[in-house]
């Protein structure tokens, strides 16, 4: 299904902003151009739900969550960044592994299975994109993913 990604992303962000219980501020850094991508919207919703619920789960009160989209010639890059506890450097790559959870005691208290990001990764790869994380302990985490897209050329329909 073809969707305009800013619009699609905004509607998911809005749903989380409306239902969140924490004092966390949402900051949108979306793209001013229209970005049409062909995606499985159910799967992409699941990807974003997983990433955003992690950002909320690991965010302190008073923190910000930033939502960004940038584009290059043939892909869009989406980022979701939080001011949370972060992930130890040695473990950042492993958060996309099945059942991996950074801190057992903390993770048990937080709930969840450790599958969210593994599923997100599978779905992004199936869309032809990539997903990765940057994190600093005590400072926060940013999840990035890319999706290929093609700029509509003038005259294509005529």
Of the pair 63, 71, the CB lying nearest ligand ATP is at 63
Of the pair 112, 128, the CB lying nearest ligand ATP is at 112
Question: Could you give the CA distance from residue 139 to residue 121 in angstroms, rounded to a whole number?
Answer: 23
Interacting residue with ligand ATP among 58, 67, 144, 145 (CB under 6 A): 58
- Which x/- pattern, by CB under 6 A, does the window 9-38 give for ligand ATP? ------------------------------
| 65 contacts ligand ATP (rule: CB under 6 A) | no
Give just the sign of the alpha carbon dihedral 45, 50, 51, 54: positive
Structure token pair of residue 107: 């993770």
| 82 contacts ligand ATP (rule: CB under 6 A) | yes
Contact between 133 and 141 under an 8 Å Cβ cutoff? The reply is: yes
**CB neighbours of residue 27 within 10 Å:** 11
Contact between 69 and 52 under an 8 Å Cβ cutoff? The reply is: no
Pick from Mg ion, ligand ATP, none: which does 62 bind, CB < 5 to 8 A by kind? none
| 63 contacts ligand ATP (rule: CB under 6 A) | no
């Amino acid at each position: 299904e073809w969707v305009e990604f800013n619009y699609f992303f905004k509607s998911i962000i809005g749903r989380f902003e409306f239902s969140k219980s924490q004092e966390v501020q949402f900051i949108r850094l979306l793209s001013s151009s229209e970005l049409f991508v062909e995606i499985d919207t159910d799967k992409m919703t699941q990807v974003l739900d997983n990433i955003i619920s992690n950002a909320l789960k690991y965010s302190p009160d008073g923190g910000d969550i930033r939502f960004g989209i940038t584009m290059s010639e043939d892909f869009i890059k989406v980022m979701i960044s939080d001011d949370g506890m972060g992930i130890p450097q040695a473990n950042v790559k492993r958060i996309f592994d099945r059942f991996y959870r950074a801190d057992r005691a903390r993770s048990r208290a937080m709930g969840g299975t450790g599958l969210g990001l593994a599923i997100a990764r599978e779905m992004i790869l199936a869309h032809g994109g990539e997903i990765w994380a940057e994190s600093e302990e005590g400072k926060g985490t940013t999840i990035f993913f890319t999706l290929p897209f093609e700029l509509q050329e003038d005259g294509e329909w005529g």
